[in-house]
Amino acid sequence: MAAGATPIAVTIAGSDSGGGAGIQADLKTFSALGVYGASVIAALTAQNTLGVTGIHDVPADFITAQIDAVFSDLAVGAVKIGMLSRPATIAAVADGLARWNQRDVVLDPVMVAASGDRLLSEDAVATLRDKLLPRASLVTPNLPEAAVLLDTAVAGDEAAMLAQARALLTFGPAAVLIKGGHASGEESVDLLVDASGVLRLPAPRIATRNTHGTGCTLSSAIAAGLARGAPLREAVQAAKDYISRAIAASDTLTIGKGHGPVHHFHAWW
């Protein structure tokens, strides 16, 4: 990023009408971390803290139009990719990234909502693995998502997590952050695996039901760090600290009747 330039990040994902995840969580995170956020909306969801009641996919040609409008004008420092539910959508995004030569790409392979609702069709998994993983600077699957991408069982310990992260590297991303939030134990441990080795990122497990949008928020916080010029490991560590504080402060919010959101603006209000 040039000296004095405004850091800009773009989220390519689905909209969450409840405001806790997806595009809305990404833009809140960018703003909280001092980054200007732009967006490419790939799908609309009818969603709240209790679950997803409908998904309306944006046509692939209009996703392309949004990508070209944003990247032809804005000096984008990093891209975060979230929910892409169809093969045509994934292909449009992959083609757009190539056309605009985007290199700092954080891919959150959103497949299942916190409520358990499936967000990615079966036929889209292979397309995501083949077209987008090779373009990613970082892929951030949770344990169920890593298992789906690899067509294997969910990792039961850190050794299995590490093995699955290394297996995902063979599909072409520069790095993998495999997240242990779905595991058990007093600590929630994420593992960042890249060519330079393994970085273990533990954090105390926080007892709260307000976990809606945690994966979206973490990946967009990493993209915000990259947009500001931070090296990958530094961006990941800072994002882990941010999401841990956002989860810890989530019970100060009273939002909805189900899984509420994390507190994106915990440092401000």
Q: Which residues are catalytic?
A: 179, 211, 213-216
Pairing of strands 78-81, 8-16: parallel
Per the CB < 8 A criterion, the answer to whether 93 and 42 are in contact is yes
The burial of 95, by beta-carbon neighbours within 10 Å (0-12 exposed, 13-18 middle, 19 or more buried), is given as: middle
Per-residue H/E/C for the chain = CCCCCCCEEEEEEEEECCCCCHHHHHHHHHHHCCCEEEEEEEEEEEEECCEEEEEEECCHHHHHHHHHHHHCCCCCCEEEECCCCCHHHHHHHHHHHHHCCCCCEEECCCCECCCCCECCCHHHHHHHHHHHHHHCCEECCEHHHHHHHHCCCCCCCHHHHHHHHHHHHCCCCCEEEEECCCCCCCEEEEEEEECCEEEEEEEECCCCCCCECHHHHHHHHHHHHHHCCCCHHHHHHHHHHHHHHHHHCHHHCCCCCCCCECCCCCCCC
Write the CB contacts of 73 (distance below 8 Å, at least 6 apart in sequence).
Answer: none
Rounded to 5 degrees, φ, ψ at 32 are -60, -30
Tokens of 142: 């949770």
105: tokens are 């790409």
